[in-house]
A and B are shown apart, each in its own frame.
Chain A
Amino acid sequence: MNISDTAIQTTGKGMGLVGKRLRTSDLVQALGFACLILCVLFALFFLGSLIYFITAKGISVISWEFLTSVPRRAMTRGGVAPAIVGTFYLTVGALSFALPLGLACAIYLCEYSPGTTVVNIIRLSINNLAGVPSVVFGLFGFAVFVKMFGFGVSILSGSLTLGIMALPGIISASQEAILAVPQSYKEASLALGATHWQTIRKVVLPTALPGILTGVILNVGRVAGETAPILFTAATFYTRGYPDSVFSEVMALPYHIYALMTEGTRPEVQTGIAYGCALILLALVLAISALAIILRQRQRINYGS
């Protein structure tokens, strides 16, 4: 780098040498650039082929009946509506637990917490919590919610387990969004005679909201797709109808895929249905991500100059 920089400065003295060196560095740059493009194409290829295979194999089973009716004949006929509904309940349940709690934690950590050592320890713990494998959350949920609290295998137990799993993600997304609010906004608010709490509620949170929502929604996508946490806490292999209370066990899309692929007596039919479920799940998660992108876009329109 340095050599070619000097070479450019001394242009006019030794033209031949300079030209050659420039050509070498150009070549290195072109090569590096090509490598990067190749890597991007590689990643895109896997993403594209995943979507292609799931769609190609799953699209044939998708029909109005598949989306709206209950499974029949040991899951080889009928639809997967209870699993879609179950996933919806679990996700909403997990969110209504994790969002208020996570937001409160984030506000405390960013705005109210005392000395930095304490905050750092808490932050470290939260990050570690994010690294815990999801099956461990599942076992924890089984021990605590199913057994100890006696909620049984139910929507409630599953939602709480998923909620705890989503908590670190929601806390750190909210923290980032809150910390990104410029100090000058807070100063302006305080200088006008607002209390700390008024400043948080009327200036900090509204400004951070789009960022918080984006983070939350991305976590929702993850919650909807997790299998391990609901394995022992909420999901059931097969129900004839829909859940009637928070203490009912439910079918859920990810677990249904697992069940179709590992149990039952007609694997050739079941595999097709599993791909159908995978396609629905994929569509669901992509739709949720799209929502996040739209929110971010609206944030730019509202707050950009």
Chain B
Amino acid sequence: MAPETKISARDVDFYYGRTKALKGISLDIHSKQVTALIGPSGCGKSTFIRLLNRMNDLIPGSKVQGSILMDGLDINHPKTDVVELRRRVGMVFQKPNPFPKSIYDNMAYGLVIGGIRDRDIIEQRVVTSLKKAALYDDVKDRLHDSALMLSGGQQQRLCIARCLVVEPEVILFDEPCASLDPISTRKIEELILELKQDYTIAIVTHNMQQAARVSDYTAFMYLGELVEYDRTERMFTVPKERMTEEYLSGKFG
């Protein structure tokens, strides 16, 4: 009873100019599961998830080959509506990046740009999303204060909540805890486990323990190639590849 596939990548190559950053990546991201991408710096894990919401479009001189399908939608097809895609595939970045606006305006942003004007609907969805991100109780009395007054961990949870407002199907996390302390990190991890009931999640992390704690599937990448992809508990107990075993046991990294 394997869960159904949400995103399916086949033979994906990616170039920054002449540098080939991804080499023939094929992997399936399963619906309402957490998929972790691990591997040493520069292995292409961030590059890969940024393909899923086409954030790499911003990089001049970059090129994608191969196919990435989400529910049958060809993500890289020239006619695919990037705006629509990004509303379906949300992203949380390495460094918390709230806008220099109030907490409320940060939350409302995704709705306003989507053309929603009704204040009641906006307020209701803002509150719901803040609750889902376990941030509402922290901020309910200061929704109109600057988001930059929040602590790093709260800012990151705000970014998650901001992403939930537009009701995505998939959420991509690009090393979301890299700049956070252990307590904030634990809260984010708990939140990810909570969110996987409703969302398909892909998380890039250089922290193997984090991958073991939060993910159902783990992909190990090295120098632009996918070395091994399996259920997390199998990968961490009986890895098939020797390189995976060496990486997981800290022989290199």
Contacts and interface: CB of A to CB of B under 8 A. Distances in A.
Given A182-B97, A194-B113, A302-B146, A188 B159 contact: yes
B100 A188 contact: no
Contacts of B162: 188, 192
A203 interface: yes
B193 interface: no
Interface in B90-117: 90-91, 93, 95, 97-101, 109-110, 112-114
Interface stretch (B70-78, B80-88, B180-188, B196-204): B80-88
A276 to B, nearest CB: 45
Contact of A187 (B87, B97, B148): B97
A185 B53 CA distance: 16
Contacts of A14: none
A302 B100 contact: yes
A300 to B, nearest CB: 11
Interface of A: 182, 184-185, 187-195, 198, 202-203, 206-207, 302-305
Given A187-B97, A189-B113, A193-B84, 16 more contacts: A182-B97, A184-B97, A185-B99, A189-B99, A190-B86, A191-B91, A192-B87, A192-B166, A193-B83, A193-B86, A193-B87, A194-B83, A194-B110, A194-B113, A198-B113, A305-B149
The 10 closest A-B pairs by CB, nearest first: A193-B87, A184-B97, A191-B91, A192-B110, A193-B86, A303-B100, A194-B113, A188-B97, A305-B148, A198-B113
21 contacts: A184-B95, A185-B97, A185-B100, A187-B97, A188-B97, A188-B159, A189-B113, A190-B86, A191-B53, A191-B93, A192-B87, A192-B90, A192-B162, A193-B84, A195-B83, A195-B113, A198-B113, A202-B109, A202-B113, A207-B100, A305-B148
Interface of B: 53, 55, 58, 83-84, 86-87, 90-91, 93, 95, 97-101, 109-110, 112-114, 146, 148-149, 159, 162-163, 166
